[in-house]
Structure 1
Amino acid sequence: MNIRSIRNILAPTLLMLAACSNAAQAATFTMFRDPNCGCCELWAEHVHAEHEAEVTVVESSDMAAVKREHGVPSVLWSCHTAIVDGYVIEGHVPAAEIERLLEERPEGIRGLAVAGMPIGSPGMEMGDRVQPYQVIAFGDVPAYVFATYPQDPGA
């Protein structure tokens, strides 16, 4: 086998692997945040560190209007709202769950939310302190628990 044959075999394989890499990395992230909130920027740093995704920040003094516009149920509101590849990401949702959402694309789901600002969630780290929290999927189907944190290491 000569070099040209090897290249002809490897090139399509490498292109396919690159196309299948991290769905979150390829997605566009736009985060709406109150200009007085600092944890939002920490969450954006988490997403960038986990997936090398760039997060465009849009400051808004009327976050309630942003949440209503994007259909976030008021019981799930948190401090910031992001739009990722057409999905709504409310609050401190871990990057791993965004990646899972983008890979699975469950039918009837408009977005994911972590209600409030639980200690230990991405952007709300406080040393070893961790408050249990849930990532909730919401949309055209009844809301359901998409993930629970802290995760059971044995699961």
Structure 2
Amino acid sequence: MKLSRPLLLTCSLILAACGATETADTAEALPLLAEASSDPPSVLVYKTPTCGCCNGWIEHLRAAGFTVDARNTTNLMAIKIDAGVPTPMSSCHTSLVDGYVVEGHVPADQIKRLLAERPDIAGIGAPGMPAGSPGMESNNAPPYQVMSFDDEGNISLYASIDPSSR
């Protein structure tokens, strides 16, 4: 179940009020409000320590306004499994953002679209390491696809990306 931003904000405020005591300071509840209404949300990226293209993608996200928390790991496969990434969707990094999984070099505008539309899916990804994708820039790169996937591992086309038009 995915929660909408207004519902999340309401739930956060209700929980803050329910846990409040008579001596609670209003300032203590403000971090909850700020966290619930941040726009765009923070992206948690898991990557290997030696991946250079992952760093390029992270910079792409930051340039698009995202706050990124990048964490190096030596057990990326376990994170992919825990996140429910279908094997054919696998790429060099796995990210979590506002209840969704983002696998690989997905353009920031497609992540923003995902967060705006909030489809009933587990996540989106750019399988492999497509030439021309953010962090994998190259001249004359062919179009590539961003795919969606659900909790059962079903994969569908989410977007077709033409790097030459970006």
TM beyond 0.5: yes
Alpha-carbon separation, structure 2, partners of 1:100 and 1:106: 10
- In structure 2, relative to structure 1, the CA distance for the partners of 1:79 and 1:151 (3 Å cut) is closer
Give the TM-score, by structure 2 length. Answer: 0.72
The answer on whether the counterparts of 1:24 and 1:98 sit within 8 Å (CA) in structure 2 is no
Query: Secondary structure in 2 aligned to 1:118?
Result: coil
Correspondent of 1:146 among 136, 151, 158: 158
Alpha-carbon separation, structure 2, partners of 1:24 and 1:149: 28
What residue number does 1:66 align with?
A: 79
Alpha-carbon separation, structure 2, partners of 1:88 and 1:148: 19
Q: How far 1:131 sits from its partner (Å)?
A: 2.9
Query: Secondary structure in 1 aligned to 2:56?
Result: helix
Alpha-carbon separation, structure 2, partners of 1:24 and 1:77: 29
Number of residue equivalences: 128
Alpha-carbon separation, structure 2, partners of 1:73 and 1:144: 12
Alpha-carbon separation, structure 2, partners of 1:112 and 1:73: 11
Query: Secondary structure in 2 aligned to 1:30?
Result: strand
Matches within 5 A, 1:4-153: 25-50=39-64, 52-107=65-120, 109-126=121-138, 128-140=139-151, 142-150=154-162
The answer on whether the counterparts of 1:32 and 1:82 sit within 8 Å (CA) in structure 2 is yes
Query: Secondary structure in 2 aligned to 1:122?
Result: coil
Alpha-carbon separation, structure 1, partners of 2:39 and 2:134: 17
- Percent of aligned pairs with the same residue? 43
Alpha-carbon separation, structure 1, partners of 2:142 and 2:46: 24
- In structure 2, relative to structure 1, the CA distance for the partners of 1:28 and 1:110 (3 Å cut) is same
The answer on whether the counterparts of 2:92 and 2:104 sit within 8 Å (CA) in structure 1 is yes
Q: Alpha carbon RMSD of aligned pairs, Å?
A: 2.0
Deviations 1:102-124 (A, max 9, x none): 000012x0100101111100100
Q: How far 1:151 sits from its partner (Å)?
A: 7.0
Alpha-carbon separation, structure 1, partners of 2:75 and 2:59: 23
Give the TM-score, by structure 1 length. Answer: 0.77
Runs of 5+ in structure 2 lacking a partner? 1-36
- In structure 2, relative to structure 1, the CA distance for the partners of 1:124 and 1:151 (3 Å cut) is closer
Runs of 5+ in structure 1 lacking a partner? 1-22
Query: Secondary structure in 1 aligned to 2:59?
Result: helix
